[in-house]
Amino acid sequence: MDFRVFNLGLVDFKKALQFQKEIFQEIKNNSFNGALILCRHYPVITLGRGGKKENIKVPLSELKNRGIHLYEIERGGDVTYHGPGQLIAYPVFNLNYLKKDIHLFLRQLEGLAIDFLSDFGIKGLRYKGLTGVWIDKKKVASIGIAIRDWITFHGISINIKQDDLDNFSLIKPCGMDIEMTSLESVLNRGVEIDNIKNNLIEKFRESYE
């Protein structure tokens, strides 16, 4: 399946969500088959369909004081944090051109994240019953999607920058008492997100084109 790539850079979550919805409509209208949207977000916490507000560990006033917005959205999963230290990919794909299998799509996203980490000599792991990718017992990639008319939106975030992990302490990521990690934390060196975007794009191309 051919797909277009859009690189939004550092963008407000709400603007990126609106862009996803516009692309979604274009794909629904058969303007093209799919799109991969890459971006980073200003600090934001999102609550998925299965999310519980009690998994936010601080008062909402504390989030406001820190300049962190909270959005309740239509993706699956619980609560997560997005920030400028993550590489985020939103595949807006028409599964009518692939396989209409939501479970398979989630596993494919995990697989390409594992392949992405392998480029850096890092072994990414899956754990049965848990969505996402882990390095040992720490989570490095979170996945939450929505599907409407067999077209996907939302997607996957991979923690890259070590200094953007602190805000995860404000929540129970994915509703669990877990520790998050990043590419920089494991490599023990700096990683520029702009320098590795093409690695992730290539993994999507290998999986879906």
**Which of the 8 DSSP states describes residue 149?**
T
Q: How many angstroms from the chain centroid is the CA of residue 32?
A: 23
Q: Is 84 exposed, middle or buried (0-12, 13-18, 19+ CB in 10 A)?
A: middle
Half-sphere exposure (Cβ direction) of 6: Cα atoms closer than 13 Å: 15
**Which of the 8 DSSP states describes residue 54?**
G
Residues 6+ apart with CB under 8 A from 76: 48, 49, 50, 144, 145, 146
Is-catalytic flag, 39? no
Q: Of residues 133, 174, 183, 193, which has the active-site annotation?
A: 174
Residues 6+ apart with CB under 8 A from 198: none
**Cβ-contact 181, 163 below 8 angstroms:** no
CA 70/CA 170 separation, integer angstroms? 12
Catalytic residues: 174
